[in-house]
Structure 1
Amino acid sequence: MLRTAMEKANRNVAGIPSPYKRGKHDPGVKHNNDTITFAEYHIDSFPRVPARWCRKDTKKEYLESILNKEKMYTLYKENCSELKQKCISKTTYRELLIKKNIGFHIPKKDQCWCHHFEQLKENEKTAEKLHDYEIHIRRKIAAMEEKKIDSLKAKRDEHYVSANFDLEAVLYSPLLFAKPVFYKR
C-alpha cells in the first residue's frame, strides 16, 4: 500500500498523490427509467387477489397461486420481445417484486363469486351479471343467518347438533382459480 502511494506521488509533478477515486465511476449496469417503468407496468397488469384472512395485519399484496417469479419473468420477456422493448435482468425484476411487496400463495379460503365480480372491468359488468351478483349476496347472507340460528339452537338445546364442514378440505375436488385468465384480458 505504501509503495502504491509513493508511485502515485512520483507520477505527479508536485509530488502529491492523486485524489481518492473509489466510488467515483458510473455503475456498470444502469437501467433507464423507461425500462423500469415498463417492468413495473407489467407487474401491475396482474390482478391482485385480496388477502381476506390477514389484510388488517399486512400491506402485502398477493397474486394468484398459479404464478411465481419465474413465470412472471418469462411472460415479461415475451412481452418485451413482442413490443421490441429492452428487458431488465431477472434479479432486477425480482427486486421490483420485493419493492412492491408482492407475494404468491394458495388462498387459505376458497373464494366466492364476489371476487370474480370485483375483478371484472367496468364494461364487462352487465345487468345480468349484476343481477347474478345481487342474488349471490342475498343467498350468502341468508346462509350466514341460517348458520347463526342453527349454532344458537345447538347451544340452547342439548338434543340438537349443528355441524359445519369445509367440503373443499374434505372432498377431493379439482383446484379452481378465481380468475385463471388473469393475463389474457
Structure 2
Amino acid sequence: MFLATMGIGTWSAQNWVQDTDATERKTALRHIEAHEFIRSFLNDLPKVPSHYCRSSTSKQYLEPVFQSIADLHREYHRAAEEKMVRPLSSKVFTEEFKQQNLGLYHPKKDQCDTCCSFKAGNLAENEWQDHLLKKEEACAEIVQDKNKANDKTMVVCMDLQALFLCPSLKASALYYKTKLAVHNFTLYEMSTQNATCYVWHEGEGTLSASEFASCVINFLSEHKEHEEYILWSDGCGYQNHNSVLSNALLNFCMETKKVVTQKFLEEGHTQMECDSVHSVIKRRLRNQKIYVPAEYVALMKSARSKPNPYEVKYVDHTFFQDFTNLRLCRSICPGIKPGDPTDVRAIRYNINGTMDFKTQHSDDWRPKQQLRHTSSPAVTQLYTNSLKIEEMKYKHLQELKEVIPKDFHSFYDNLKH
C-alpha cells in the first residue's frame, strides 16, 4: 500500500532506507570525532603549575595565553579546520571545557571569596563581620605604618608578580608547548617609592620559602642604614607566612641588632603599592616579543623612567641561600597547647632572639613561646648547580626555536633537563 500510494518501486524504497541509515551513522561518527578532538585539544594545552592556583580546588588552569573562552574557541576553530574536523559551536566547546574542570588562569582575583560567599548567602553574618573587622584593622594599620616611615624606620610591601612565560610571542605554535617560567618578586619601599625586583627563571630557582627569604634578607642587608623594618605582605604560605622566612628574619635581627616586624593583610583584600609596580611592568610588556628571560629584565628596567627607575636584579642559582636548617623558632603559630589561637596577624623579631606576636592588629604584643636559643647551623647555598627542567618542557622549547631568532638558541640549548 505504501509503494502504491507513493508510486515507487521496492528497489527505490530499500535504497532510501539504506542511504538514511548510512548517513545517520556517518553523522554520529563525525559528532563523536568532533567531541574527541575538543578533548584532545584541551588536553594538549599547557597548564599553570599548581602553586599559582588556590590549593583548595582541583581545577586545572591554562597558561595565561588566552584572555577569554571566546579567544580560546577561536584557536580551537582554527585547529579543527587544519585537522579537517568539523568545529563545534561555542556552547558545546564551553560545556566540554567545564566538564574537564578547566579554568583560564587569572593571577589576581578581583573579588574576595569571603565577601562573595556572604553575598550569595553561604556565609554567616557574624563570620563576615569578623572578616570585615580584620580587613579594616589591617588597612588602618598599614596607613599608620606609612606615616611612621622615616630615615630610621623602613616600611616595605612585597609580593610575587603573576607568572611570566618565555618565549612570549603571538604565535599559534606556542599554544601547545610548555614554556619556561619566569618569576618576579617585588619589594616596594613606601616612603621613597623605590622598587626592587628580583627576577629568575625556573632553570635557576623554584618558588620555595628559601628563595623568597633570600630576596628579603638581601634587600634588608642592602639597607642597613635603618634601625627598624616593617614588612607588609599577604598571608601566602610558601612566600611570606612560614617558619623558614621567620627563622631567616630572626637570624638577621640577631646578627645586625635591628628590629623587623612582619605584618599580614586580610585574605581577599591584599592590595598593596607593589601591585602598581606590577601593573606598570605589565603595560611595558604589552605587545612585546620576548625570546629569553633577560629581555624581561631589560624591559622592566625601562618600565618607569627617571628619577626612580625600578631596580631589577636578574639572579641565578648562586644567589639563593638555604634557610631551612635554621631552628631558632619551631613554628610561627602563637599557641602551644590545644585551644590556643593559631592565626597570626603580626610578628616582631627582636635583637635578643625573642619574638612577639599579634592575632589582631589592634591587640597588644604577646611573647612567642618555644624559642630555641642554641646556636644554629650556618646558612649554606641552596643550590650547587643550575636546576633541571622537565624533559618534555626542554623538548617543547627546542621545537619552539623555529620561531626564535638563532641568536637566542644557545640559551635554550644550555638548559639542563
Bin the TM-score by the shorter chain. 0.5 to 0.7
Give, in whole Å, the separation in 2 of the partners of 1:70 and 1:87.
14
Residues 140, 133 of structure 1: alpha-carbon distance in 2 compared, 3 angstrom cutoff: farther
Paired residues for 1:78-97 under 5 Å: 78-97=78-97
Q: Which residue matches 2:105?
A: 105
CA deviation after TM superposition for structure 1 residue 57, in Å: 1.0
Q: State the secondary structure of the residue aligned to 2:45.
A: coil
Q: Which residue matches 2:48?
A: 49
Q: Which residue matches 1:160?
A: 259
Q: Which residue matches 2:281?
A: 173
Give, in whole Å, the separation in 1 of the partners of 2:208 and 2:75.
39
Q: Which residue matches 2:210?
A: 141
Give, in whole Å, the separation in 2 of the partners of 1:95 and 1:138.
34
Q: Which residue matches 2:59?
A: 60
Q: State the secondary structure of the residue aligned to 1:103.
A: strand
Give, in whole Å, the separation in 2 of the partners of 1:150 and 1:48.
33
Unaligned runs of 5+ in 2: 1-23, 109-159, 167-177, 181-200, 217-244, 264-271, 292-395, 401-417
- Note the alpha carbon deviations across 1:17-44, whole angstroms, 9 max, x for none: xxxxxxxxx9xx9662211111111112
Residues 120, 157 of structure 1: alpha-carbon distance in 2 compared, 3 angstrom cutoff: closer
Q: State the secondary structure of the residue aligned to 2:205.
A: helix
CA deviation after TM superposition for structure 1 residue 91, in Å: 0.8
Q: State the secondary structure of the residue aligned to 2:103.
A: strand
> Number of aligned pairs?
143
Residues 46, 142 of structure 1: alpha-carbon distance in 2 compared, 3 angstrom cutoff: closer
Give, in whole Å, the separation in 2 of the partners of 1:160 and 1:78.
59
Opposite residue 160 of structure 1, the aligned amino acid is V
Q: State the secondary structure of the residue aligned to 1:107.
A: coil
Q: State the secondary structure of the residue aligned to 2:79.
A: helix
The answer to which structure has the higher strand fraction is: 2
The answer to which structure has the higher helix fraction is: 1
Residues 162, 94 of structure 1: alpha-carbon distance in 2 compared, 3 angstrom cutoff: same
The TM-score with structure 1 as length reference comes to 0.54
Structure having greater relative contact order (Cα 8 Å, sep ≥ 6):
1
Residues 106, 159 of structure 1: alpha-carbon distance in 2 compared, 3 angstrom cutoff: same
Q: State the secondary structure of the residue aligned to 1:62.
A: strand
Give, in whole Å, the separation in 2 of the partners of 1:140 and 1:56.
16
Would you say the 8 A contact 1:154–1:160 is kept in 2? Answer: yes
Opposite residue 173 of structure 1, the aligned amino acid is I
Opposite residue 69 of structure 2, the aligned amino acid is K
Give, in whole Å, the separation in 1 of the partners of 2:210 and 2:32.
48
Opposite residue 73 of structure 1, the aligned amino acid is H
Would you say the 8 A contact 1:48–1:62 is kept in 2? Answer: yes
Would you say the 8 A contact 1:63–1:103 is kept in 2? Answer: yes
Give, in whole Å, the separation in 1 of the partners of 2:99 and 2:255.
52
Residues 139, 100 of structure 1: alpha-carbon distance in 2 compared, 3 angstrom cutoff: closer
Opposite residue 98 of structure 1, the aligned amino acid is K
CA deviation after TM superposition for structure 1 residue 100, in Å: 0.5
Q: Which residue matches 1:15?
A: none
Q: Which residue matches 2:39?
A: 40
Residues 155, 70 of structure 1: alpha-carbon distance in 2 compared, 3 angstrom cutoff: farther
Residues 45, 167 of structure 1: alpha-carbon distance in 2 compared, 3 angstrom cutoff: farther
Q: Are residues 1:70 and 2:70 paired?
A: yes
Q: State the secondary structure of the residue aligned to 2:281.
A: coil
CA deviation after TM superposition for structure 1 residue 150, in Å: 5.1
CA deviation after TM superposition for structure 1 residue 60, in Å: 0.5
Opposite residue 141 of structure 1, the aligned amino acid is S
CA deviation after TM superposition for structure 1 residue 77, in Å: 1.2
